[in-house]
Amino acid sequence: MQEIGHFIGGKHVAGTSGRTAIVYNPATGEVQATVALASVAEIRAAVENAKAAQPKWAATNPQRRARVFFKFVELLNKHMDELAEMLSKEHGKTIEDSKGDIIRGLEVCEFVCGIPHLAKGEFTEGAGPAIDMYSIRQPVGIGAGITPFNFPGMIPMWMFAPAIACGNAFILKPSERDPSLPIRLAELIIEAGLPAGILNVVNGDKAAVDAILADPDIAAISFVGSTPIARYVYGTAAMNGKRAQCFGGAKNHMIIMPDADMDQAVNALMGAGYGSAGERCMAISVAVPVGEDTANRLVEKLVPKIESLRIGPYTDDKADMGPLVTKDAYNRVNGLIDRGVEEGAKLVVDGRGFKLQGYEDGYFVGGSLFDHVTPSMDIYKTEIFGPVLSVVRAKNYEDALDLPMKHEYGNGVAIYTRDGDAARDFASRINIGMIGVNVPIPVPLAYHSFGGWKASSFGDLNQHGTDSIKFWTRTKTITARWPSGIKDGAEFVMPTMK
């Protein structure tokens, strides 16, 4: 059986804590590997490697840092099939979905190839009498990333690419559920020319997270996961004097106006609700049709499409979606479907009990659809993180708008309409971080920033885009005046421009 350790100082390192976790094949339920769970000492070893390597990397000019990422992008493309296979085998998502996962991370690596421009400061000549003033952006030193299971390629690259491009060293603590891909990414970026010690991958659980939060040499932390853990990481990081950006849960709504192209809306809901078995923080899990006629037409068109979803292992190249990642996830999703029935929602399509011939022990849940869901129900309030779509019927536009406005989460939202006035009003008023107008999953491209509002996000700066450059650097401002411009005698009053 494969034993997965850590990647520290540019090489593979076996775990020494004596603790391990099991990595399953989600399609079969079989154990396929064990992964080491790091101790405080192992986290510290990674930090020491990073600390030794970072000053020289920070002193490397931005153009040379960019060249590493140019080469890394080339290697990602060259090894795409291998990387997607590795991801799918542990996560369960389809090969094409895995490629999308990796490509979305690759695009951030492409973005940071522009680091010579992105990291430039500002200069003002003559800010005062014979005074010049300028600001520069300098790396924070050592950063860390704690990433979830659902995007084991994309989210690590969203974190380490801008951090490293800015001149930092980085400690990555990926999910122990699918740990192989992050280590392979570290191998490839070393091949691309990154010095050993700049990217270290340390597998672990809460003990590793707490060690990262407590380590005095880690200056900044990026986290993606559930809202309770995001709150914990953000609060603990702040108490320990660390900069943090923490992204939590979501309950993304799609509002379908009466004038929307219903076929487009239905197709959008199918991909956004059931792609990757719903294990996406930007999945649409709540459909909000405006008016009874809109709702009836929506449900009528959704049902046959959900019932005809092709569900299979990642090796089935015709599969629309695969299994959930673990048995715990399988039990949780089925339990929430049970809960929806108990609460009185109408289960129009029931995905419980789905079995695939030859994969009876896999963690497969069929696509499920609830109608007549209300905001008081647990299935509306909770992020299910599975292939379950809830229809909440709204009487009018204002009622529809009110639903995402009042929900605790504020990650993403979408509206389907032909009415430009309605779309503009929606985008202006909604208290959500990422908005789609006739776009179901409004994840911004790499040169804009990703981040939600409310309980979906903690911290002032988002992921990728220019926000990421600001997060992984500190601003230093210099005010300079040379002897020829200095008056004789001491000045005792506060200097001003008056």
Q: Which residues are catalytic?
A: 281
Closest CA relative to residue 328, chosen from 212, 182, 175: 175
| Contacting residues for 32 by C-beta, under 8 A, at least 6 apart | 1, 2, 23, 24, 25, 89, 90
Residue by residue, what is the 3-state secondary structure of 448-464?
CCECCEECCEECCCCEC
Strand 284-289, strand 252-256: pairing: parallel
Which of these, 435, 345, 342, lies nearest to 390 by C-alpha position? 345
* Spatial separation of the C-alpha atoms in residues 178 and 157, rounded to whole Å: 15
Helix 154-165 to helix 95-112 angle, to the nearest 10 degrees? 10
**243-247, strands of its sheet edge to edge:** 11-13, 6-8, 199-201, 169-173, 142-146, 220-224, 243-247, 457-458
DSSP string for 130-176 = TEEEEEEEEE-SEEEEE--SS-TTHHHHHHHHHHHHTT-EEEEE--T
CA distance 283 to 384: 10
Q: What three-state secondary structure class fits 415?
A: strand
The pair of structure tokens assigned to 303 is: 């049902």
